[in-house]
Amino acid sequence: MIKGNQANHDVRMRGFASRMDVDQVIRLVREAVSQLPAESVSLGEAAGRVLATGVTSAVPVPGFARSAMDGYAVRGEETFGASDYNPLPFRLVGEAMPGRPWVGSVAAGEAVRIMTGAPMPPGADAVVMAEFSRESEASGGKLVSVTDPVPPSRNVGQIGEDIVPGQELFQTGRVLRPQDVGVLASVGVSSVSVVRKPVVRIVITGDELLPPGSTPSGSKIVDSNSLMLDALVRRDGGISRLGQIVPDRREAVEAAIMDPAGDMVIVSGGSSVGAEDHAPLIVADRGKLLVHGVAMRPSSPTGVGRIDNRLIFLLPGNPVSCLAAYDFFAGPAIRLLGGRNPDWPHRTTRRRLAAKIASAVGRVDYVRVRLTAAGVEPLAISGASILSSTTRADGFVIVAKDSEGSPPGEEVTVFLYD
């Protein structure tokens, strides 16, 4: 933990003198992040974006009275008494189609054939469904016989029935869904003001790493964190920027961290206490190292800093540690930058444990679990480098710092990966 004077920030080959509580780091991150400014996007690009300004309708929907059924527009009160045994005849005087209204006015004893969505002709106030009507030829023209009475306003969509002028459609902070975009289109909106998406640079360090798509060979391993972090950033509404793998040399790591592009930087690897873990020193020297060392398992070597008003997240290179540290700290920061809810994005379920979870007071544990018929089963894997354990797991359980774990049968909250 680094606070105030940073004279003792070099913990390489010595270990952490102390570690900051997870809750403290979460609070620090949330207090350090400010929402990004707004930008205007076309409606076609608005789905999934966060509204920076609420939207109010200037027009009614529908903007005209329209038929809600295929049938015949009539004066409703003239149909009273109609039945299968007493069909009432109306003179058919025209046809109204969507986008092609009938020009004229419906008089007493008259009907207009009308399709769903077509404007109601003046003089008519109800629609008889086609199922209860029958056309026939007569000496004076066509007739339509009605066998079901319809009171005025029946089967008619009224002006403003869906939306009235001045109605607030969506508030600031709304993440626009596809149907939301459809509603905005219906009131004539062509563009909206949304929170700018945060651009997150992802810096992967390590001499032992090969690019994704390579075949592991000798002492080299294939980088998996870049693709995982890229997907996580996009999940949280950000735009990721991936560069080349950075070798474990101070000048190379420093150049990557100090690149001015982006709103936030995530560094994977080089955050612990090894001889070549340069990232914490760089952040401390060039900015401020706010946190280094967190009381959690895995992910204890996590760091958080600030350089030139940008947050820098130092995530462990071990894949499970990287995933856990991202979800606890970097993910909420990205969501806050983009105007989203910083809380966990995972669905949850409450289930009983099939086997105990052991922990230690004073640290938070991130425990991978499976959901079985017997209950929640902790995976018997402690290695922070075993990324495949997260694919075998259905989710994870968080053990609070004041707990020694949970016995079999205790109900726990499971955060689901899917």
User: What is the full per-residue pLDDT of the chain (418 aa) written as tens digits?
Assistant: 333 334 356 655 455 667 899 999 999 999 999 999 999 999 999 999 999 999 999 999 999 999 999 999 999 999 999 999 999 999 999 999 999 999 999 999 999 999 999 999 999 999 999 999 999 998 878 999 999 999 999 999 999 999 999 999 999 999 999 999 999 999 999 999 999 999 999 999 999 999 999 998 899 999 999 999 999 999 999 999 999 999 999 999 999 999 999 999 999 998 876 677 899 999 999 999 999 999 999 999 999 999 999 999 999 999 999 999 999 999 999 999 999 999 999 999 999 999 999 999 999 999 999 999 999 999 865 555 566 777 789 999 999 999 999 999 999 999 999 8
- Ordered by where they begin, the domains of the chain are 22-37+196-337 (3.40.980.10), 39-61+164-195 (3.90.105.10), 66-157 (2.170.190.11), 348-416 (2.40.340.10)
Contact indicator for 199, 237 with CB cutoff of 8 Å:
no
Pairing of strands 88-96, 141-146: antiparallel
3-state secondary structure of 299: coil
Report the distance separating Cα 170 and Cα 239, nearest Å. Answer: 25
Helix axes 279-286, 250-258, angle to 10 degrees: 50
Residue type for position 130 = A
Residues 6+ apart with CB under 8 A from 4: none
Report the distance separating Cα 405 and Cα 368, nearest Å. Answer: 14
The secondary structure element, H or E, covering residue 377 is: strand 375-378
**Listed residue (372, 369, 373, 374) closest to 397, CA to CA:** 369
92 strand-pairing partners? 111
